[in-house]
Chains A and B, each alone.
Chain A
Amino acid sequence: MNYTRIRKLRDKYAIVGVGYTPQGKIPGRTAMSFYAEAGANAIQDAGLKKDAIDALICYRQFPAANDEPEATPYLVAQHLGITPAILSQESYCPRHQFIQAVSLLEAGFCNYVLIIYADNAVSGKRMFINEATHSESPAYNFAYGEFGFVADYAMAARRAMHQFKTGPDTWKEIAVNQRKWANLNQMAAMHNKTLDYDQYMNSPYLAEPFRRLDASLISDGGRACVVTSVERARDLRHPVVAIMGVGEANPSVDIHQSAYMSGPTGAKKASETAFGMADIKLDAIDACEIYDCFTYTVEITMQDYGFFSPGEGNEFFKDGKTAPGGKMPVNTSGGLLSEAYFMGLTPITEGVMQLMGRCGERQLGEKTGTNKPEIILCSDNGGVLQTHSCLILRRL
């Protein structure tokens, strides 16, 4: 691929505000309330007025729980009191939010893009079974007792165990390292719960080879951020965090028929585009915020990015190399495994907050015995490894 044109977009757009909500188990609230709160907080955090927002991009909306109204993008805009020129919402997880934002801004259709994900998945008792779609009819999958994302990703992880050296010994390192970050993050669901190898190994199997502790949390809450030009960002209140590179790839084939379970997944191609745009190599990366719906997702993503060869993940993650004090910090909020599940916005907004220097006890740099970050690599994937987005953020 020729990167000449997209390279002109390097460091041209920035993420200027992050919106949080109460998160974890927050009973008595609608999904919509989290959308509205996260969106309003991101706008406020950026130091903008709501009327400045002229594009709204929502992550995947899951069917409403508790007989609530569906959280359509129209309703999110209505609750926020905005009438954006551009409005979109993904349906089955293709992760194009940030490429879409950059492209729309570059084309000149809008100036400030608000990106949101929210859900009341705990209170709404979401099982993430009907949400998993396949190439066969629902009745076909039901006949075989095939239910949901845990087993789908476990299927991929099992194939990887066959193809190269991996398994619980590698995944426990990922789970334990991330928990150490969560222990430094007061917002993390697992803030007060330490985790050691024995606890990981004693965690019950959900769908073998995956244990409960290989799986993401389920969360109430929401997360949002605002994207605009670097030029405008310089007039706003926070240090400028630019989008240095962004790439997307969509292998698309259902996991039941996929030949990429053990890689290369979309992470390889998406990162080639992002690194091509950023015009840097892997050695420029100071930390990673990797979409970690399951432990194995972190391994295969970083393997496909080229941090290590197939089967060398154990060596890469062991001895706390990705934990506080480690050489390559990974998922510094605790991630989806130990902080909260807000799709790709959990890792991406954490990358932004770290580069802005707003992470308190878990702040990368002297405080956590790590390198002061200038460039952070973030990932987002969806479906069952069917789509991947790679984002390189840089503090200007």
Chain B
Amino acid sequence: MEINRIATADTVFFWEGCSNHQLRFQKCDECGHVRWPASIICPKCHSMKTSYIVSEGEGEIYSFVIYHAVFNSNFKNKVPYVVAVVRLKEGPHLLTNIVDCDFAKLRCGRKVKVVWRKIGEVTVPCFQ
């Protein structure tokens, strides 16, 4: 599967971090809010003063779905697979996959940790 142009001008730092197995987010210097999606301003206080933090990669499943239908032919051999939103300890809600898991044990609130997977040339954060 080929992934093209996953980074935007706003998320170059995030994907560079991923290639080094670091989950990086922006943190507002004024109010301390850790934000995602990446943005030039803090949605809480509109400050443009920004630092970068590396997440510990720990969080919990906020919600998840199990894809059974094939919506795209690239995923024909992958169903069933799990798409989830993980709430990281630092705050951001990140869309991801839960990998190598027992579907019966999936629960909202379950603790998960980042693992790194390669899709084509791109390193993406998944959770376990």
Chain A interface residues toward B at CB < 8 A: 127, 129, 134-137, 139-148, 150-151, 154-156, 158-159, 161-162, 204-210, 254, 256-258, 261
Contacts and interface: CB of A to CB of B under 8 A. Distances in A.
Contact of B4 (A139, A147, A258): A139
Contacts of B4: 139
Interface of B: 3-8, 11, 36-37, 62-69, 71-72, 74-75, 78, 80-81, 83, 85, 92-97, 107-109, 119, 122, 124
Contacts of A145: 67, 71-72, 74-75, 78, 81, 83, 97
A162 B71 CA distance: 26
A151 B65 contact: yes
Contacts of B96: 144
B5 A147 contact: no
A144 B5 contact: no
B95 A256 contact: yes
Given A143-B122, A145-B81, A256-B85, A208 B68 contact: yes
Contacts of B62: 159
18 contacts: A127-B71, A129-B72, A139-B6, A140-B6, A143-B3, A143-B119, A148-B71, A154-B65, A155-B85, A158-B64, A158-B108, A204-B68, A204-B69, A206-B68, A207-B69, A208-B67, A208-B80, A254-B37
B120 to A, nearest CB: 9
A159 B63 contact: yes
Nearest to A162: B108
Contacts of A140: 6, 95
Which of the listed residues A127, A135, A144 has the most CB atoms from chain B within 10 Å of its own CB?
A144
Contacts of B68: 204-208
A141 B95 CA distance: 8
A204 B70 CA distance: 12
B66 A162 contact: no
A265 to B, nearest CB: 14
Nearest to B85: A256
Contacts of B95: 134, 136, 140-141, 144, 146, 256
A137 B6 contact: yes
A99 B67 CA distance: 37
Nearest to A139: B6
Nearest to A161: B108
Contacts of A208: 65-68, 80
Nearest to A144: B97
A134 to B, nearest CB: 8
Contacts of A257: 36-37, 85, 92-93
Contact of A261 (B63, B72, B78): B63
Contacts of A134: 95
A129 B6 contact: no
A151 B63 CA distance: 11
A208 B79 CA distance: 12
Q: Kindly list the 9 A-B residue pairs having the minimum CB-CB distance in the complex, ordered from nearest.
A: A162-B108, A147-B71, A159-B63, A208-B66, A205-B68, A135-B37, A139-B6, A206-B69, A257-B93
Nearest to B69: A206
B5 A139 contact: yes
A156 B75 CA distance: 23
Given A143-B124, A146-B83, A155 B71 contact: no
Contacts of B74: 145
A144 B124 contact: yes
A384 to B, nearest CB: 12
A306 B95 CA distance: 31
B8 A137 contact: yes
A137 B97 contact: no
Nearest to B15: A140
A158 B63 contact: yes
A142 B3 contact: yes
Contact of A256 (B66, B93, B107): B93
A5 B25 CA distance: 45
B65 A207 contact: yes
Nearest to A255: B85
Nearest to A262: B63
Contacts of A161: 108
B65 A209 contact: yes
Contact of A137 (B11, B66, B67): B11
Contacts of B3: 139, 142-143
Contacts of B75: 145
Given A143-B122, A144-B95, A162 B69 contact: no
Contacts of B69: 150, 204-207
Contacts of A137: 5-8, 11
A261 B122 CA distance: 30
Contact of A155 (B7, B63, B109): B63
